[in-house]
Amino acid sequence: MSERRKVGILGGTFNPPHIGHLMIAEGVRDAAGLDEIRFMPNAVPPHKLKEGDADAWQRLEMTKLAIRGNPDFTAEPIEVESGGISYTSRTMDLLHERDPDTDFSFIIGGDSIENLHTWHDIDSLVEKVEFIGVPRPGSSASGRYPVRMVGIPQIDLSSTILREKLETGRSVKYLIPDPVIRFIREEGLYGI
């Protein structure tokens, strides 16, 4: 009988992916003893897209570029390929069907822990995955659902801040991996 793989899912918009995402993923992988982290861009971002924003396929490509070179990181295209609004509970059903010998954890920030009660089908979801929480500046990281907290270095950085920097011509060097910056320029994203 083969040993079960332990895989963490880091979902998000990744519009664009940045070093904060990479720090969280590596910190959780190490602290929780996971075999792999899968970065899973959603198909429909929670905010309204502006002209010049990346579409789902561009966000998936940027994610692949951001994690390239790390054998413990992979891009999970399941929600982008499905299109439309994705619900984590249904996505995890699909991942369990595809990878039955894998134990999945879902990585969330402290701000999301406070809002887990609003997630679609949350009572079923907590039976399917272990939630691993990371502290976020300004959040209490408390809620009524079980979350395994891991301590990792924190950085107060968001894709929103980075899009604003890009739109106004300010530097994002060392905040976004160089291959992603090149892709953003080549594609003319975020007003560049």
Task: State pLDDT tens for residues 90-132.
Answer: 999 999 999 999 999 999 988 788 889 999 999 999 999 999 9
Alpha-carbon span 161 to 170, nearest angstrom: 11
Quick: pLDDT tens for 127-148: 999 999 998 777 667 778 999 9
pLDDT band at 191 (very low <50, low <70, confident <90, very high): confident
Range of the domain at 65: 5-191
Q: What is the CATH number of the domain that holds 99?
A: 3.40.50.620
Asked whether residue 88 carries a pLDDT value surpassing 60, the answer given is yes
* The amino acid at 123: D
Structural domains of the chain, count: 1
Look at residue 72 and give its three-state secondary structure: coil
pTM as predicted: 0.93
Alpha-carbon span 9 to 110, nearest angstrom: 16
Task: Output 50 or 117, whichever has higher pLDDT.
Answer: 117
pLDDT mean across residues, the chain: 92
14 and 62 Cβ atoms separated by less than 8 Å: yes
Dihedral sign computed on CA atoms, order 109, 56, 68, 106: positive
How deeply is 168 buried, as exposed, middle or buried, from its count of CB atoms within 10 A (0-12, 13-18, 19+)? exposed
